[in-house]
């Protein structure tokens, strides 16, 4: 295994990680900002409201995008496991 192959593996790993975690983090961030604005406008400062909304949004994203995200992660893992024989040589 040379440096180019190692760099390619690392780059692909980061791409898959961003692809899998990005939508969840972005949805949680957007929900947190919106709940924060609503809480500031209504002066309701309850931490559980923010948590419940974020959890519901993340669950919704997982239900809608979960199969695509999991498919990409499984595809990446399968490719890496198949390439072990070529890397070890």
Q: What is the pLDDT along the chain (89 residues), one digit of tens a residue?
A: 788 888 988 999 999 999 999 999 999 999 999 999 999 999 888 888 889 999 999 999 999 999 999 999 999 999 989 888 877 77
The domain of 37 spans 3-88
pLDDT of residue 28: 95
**What whole-number distance in Å separates Cα of residue 84 and Cα of residue 69?**
23
Q: Residue 39 in contact with residue 25, Cβ under 8 Å?
A: no
Structural domain count of the chain: 1
80 by Cβ neighbours in 10 Å (0-12 / 13-18 / 19+) ranks as middle
Closest CA to 21 of 87, 72, 75: 72
**The pTM is what?**
0.78
């Amino acid at each position: 295994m040379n440096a180019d192959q190692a760099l390619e593996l690392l780059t692909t790993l980061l791409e898959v990680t961003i692809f899998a975690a990005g939508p969840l983090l972005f949805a949680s961030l957007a929900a947190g900002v919106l709940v924060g604005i609503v809480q500031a406008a209504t002066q309701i400062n309850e931490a559980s409201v923010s948590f419940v909304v974020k959890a519901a949004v993340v669950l919704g994203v997982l239900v809608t995008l979960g199969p695509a995200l999991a498919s990409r992660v499984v595809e990446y893992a399968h490719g890496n496991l198949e390439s072990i024989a070529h890397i070890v040589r």
